[in-house]
Homo-oligomer: A and B are copies of this chain.
Amino acid sequence: MVSSTDGFTWTPSAGRRKGLPTIGAVQPPNYSTQPPSEVHDVIVIGAGYAGLVAARDLATQGKTTLLLEARDRLGGRTWNANINGFNYEMGGTWVHWHMPHIYREISYYGLHNDFIVTQNPGSKEDYFTATTGSRQRNMSHEEEANIAGRVLQKFCNVDGEDLKQSWKYAFATVQSPKLMAKWDKLSCKDRLDEIQDQLSPEDRSILESQLLQMGGSSLEKIGLLGVLLWWSLGSHTPTGLNDIALHTRLRSGQSELHRRIFEHAESTGNLSYSFQTPVQRIEDADNIVAVTSRDGQVWKAKSVICTIPLNVLSSIEFAPPLPADKLEAIQHKSVNRCNKVHVDLNGPDYLSWTSLGTPGKGLVSAFGDHLTNASNSHLVCFGPDPDTPLGISLDDTEAIKSAVIHLLPKDKQEEVIINRIVSHDWNNDEFANGTWCFLEPEATTKYLSVLQRPYGNIFFASADWSDGWRGWIDGAVQSGTQAAKAVVFQKTSSTPTVSVEKKLANGA
């Protein structure tokens, strides 16, 4: 299997090594169906989910499409490494049939039988560990669900009706605008302060752990509105978000689905691509958009779909410059700079174990997610921004070990053996500069529609500013699909059915 230069793994014997094997790596990195000097119908920048589905939609609809990707692999902030036959999901992981845009892709590419369950019950050690500072309590998963659900519900119930009326439709974009604007003024810290009298220290720790896992920053920076959106997407029930969004993943791994989408696009004969090609400049003049890479190559197209993440956009030169409101929106960035770390513990005991804990030693959650082929326990762990007091640097292996051990049951901490660590340091990755999008207070109200708006012949697609499952795989697919549609309808206005297209475009 080919390796990507992305990610790293540590083992006791070999230490820390960069780069991981993945079927998402694309070799050779370049392929062209036409002379590169020709004007393509569309250039799609970025081969994450948004870019992949956009390129697929365009290529299958007969558009000559050039896909430019900075990395050496498919998937952007979602990809799986395969080590000794086990799939480690390095970024976006969980999918579900209640996420309609990604599920349609899973269904389309025949992966409907390919699900496995994270937090799989039934192992020898089947319980939850809550770590509240130096105190710790083990409990059943049933009690875990009751407490974690109850405190999340209390936190999200800002209208006394669990948002069941005011935020009834998780995907609607026109809904209780005054309430949304009011709630968007608050941070998670503000909301915690409102309900703190109703929380025991353990309650508060379990709630804070969940919030830090969601937003990956300090509680002052994490906007309340993003949490309320996730509550609504979780069907307004205490465990709905967990059941939908942290529950099932693809057995074959995200990179398998990327491959299928990519190869489908390739099979049309309309797709050219260039990987390992970071973009530096996008110039839109006289209805031709010229895209220049860092190494000075220039490609041209009638339209561009730019899927560069929010936290990277400021590194791109736009000519003419982006309008002032877009520049301001881009400056605010996503606050989510969480760490995601895979830790394999010797032996199968942690298959169904889960944990939350705060203030911890750099990680706020760890939970079992299947056994490796050698029957060791694979844990997925999350910790907030390394630049906050609660975070740790992924360069510091001893800090990672210490942080995960702190979350383990106290009577197991001395005996545990860490076999492997696997991670991708998204915060120090210049093509990500963070993880899934979480916006600061007021940013949604001020900037979401600004970020979504096209600029001339440049369309912007990303989970970072999607409606619905913003920050998730589903949002990336939704956003990429919408951008491809916008390009198609914009560029066929010479056909006799303009009115239909306008009607459709207006509906979008």
A107 engages B100 (CB within 8 Å): yes
Residues of B within 8 A of A468 (CB): 107, 112
| Given known A60-B61, A103-B100, A107-B101, contact A113–B264 (CB-CB < 8 A) | no
Most buried by B among A173, A495, A501, A507: A507
Number of copies: 2
Within 8 A of B (CB), among A248-291: 248, 260, 263-264, 266-267, 269
A266 to B174, CA, bound (A): 30
| Given known A61-B60, A115-B169, contact A500–B107 (CB-CB < 8 A) | no
A294 to B193, CA, bound (A): 73
| Given known A169-B115, A492-B267, A495-B269, contact A478–B107 (CB-CB < 8 A) | yes
Q: Looking across the interface, which residue of chain B has its beta carbon closest to that of A252?
A: B507
A25 to B103, CA, bound (A): 32
Within 8 A of B (CB), among A72-103: 97-101, 103
Residues of B within 8 A of A504 (CB): 109-110, 260, 263-264, 267
Q: Looking across the interface, which residue of chain B has its beta carbon closest to that of A481?
A: B108
| Given known A62-B62, A267-B492, contact A507–B109 (CB-CB < 8 A) | yes
Residues of B within 8 A of A500 (CB): 263-264, 266-267
Residues of B within 8 A of A495 (CB): 267, 269
A168 within 8 A of B: yes
Q: How far is the CB of A175 from chain B (nearest CB, A)?
A: 8
**Chain A count of residues within 8 A CB distance of the other chain:** 52
A26 within 8 A of B: no
B113 engages A172 (CB within 8 Å): yes
A97 engages B97 (CB within 8 Å): no
Q: How far is the CB of A98 from chain B (nearest CB, A)?
A: 5
Residues of B within 8 A of A266 (CB): 497, 500
A260 to B99, CA, bound (A): 23
Q: Looking across the interface, which residue of chain B has its beta carbon closest to that of A104?
A: B104
A171 engages B267 (CB within 8 Å): no
Name the one of B98, B108, B492 contacting A485, with C-beta atoms under 8 angstroms. Answer: B108
Interface string of A313-352 (1 = CB under 8 A from B): 0000000000000000000000000000000000000000
Residues of B within 8 A of A98 (CB): 97-98, 100
| Given known A97-B98, A100-B104, A504-B260, contact A113–B267 (CB-CB < 8 A) | no
Q: Looking across the interface, which residue of chain B has its beta carbon closest to that of A122?
A: B165
A412 within 8 A of B: no
A195 within 8 A of B: no
Interface string of A167-184 (1 = CB under 8 A from B): 011111111000000000
A111 within 8 A of B: yes
Q: How far is the CB of A327 from chain B (nearest CB, A)?
A: 28
B506 engages A112 (CB within 8 Å): no
A355 to B375, CA, bound (A): 54
A503 within 8 A of B: yes
Q: How far is the CB of A113 from chain B (nearest CB, A)?
A: 5
Residues of B within 8 A of A501 (CB): 267
A107 engages B171 (CB within 8 Å): yes
A236 to B243, CA, bound (A): 12
Residues of B within 8 A of A41 (CB): none
Q: Looking across the interface, which residue of chain B has its beta carbon closest to that of A478?
A: B107
| Given known A500-B267, A501-B267, contact A109–B508 (CB-CB < 8 A) | yes
| Given known A98-B98, A100-B100, contact A111–B263 (CB-CB < 8 A) | no
A117 within 8 A of B: yes
Q: How far is the CB of A397 from chain B (nearest CB, A)?
A: 37
A507 engages B61 (CB within 8 Å): no
30 examples of A-B residue contacts, CB within 8 angstroms = A60-B60, A61-B62, A97-B98, A97-B169, A97-B171, A100-B101, A100-B104, A107-B478, A108-B485, A108-B508, A109-B504, A109-B507, A110-B508, A111-B507, A112-B467, A113-B169, A113-B174, A169-B248, A260-B503, A260-B504, A260-B507, A263-B497, A263-B503, A263-B504, A264-B504, A266-B497, A266-B500, A267-B492, A267-B501, A267-B504
Q: Which residues of A contact B (CB under 8 A)?
A: 60-62, 97-101, 103-104, 107-113, 115, 117, 168-175, 235, 243, 248, 260, 263-264, 266-267, 269, 467-468, 478, 481-482, 485, 492, 495, 497, 500-501, 503-504, 506-508
Which 7 residue pairs of A and B lie closest in terms of their CB atoms, listed nearest first? A110-B507, A100-B103, A100-B100, A110-B508, A267-B497, A263-B500, A104-B104
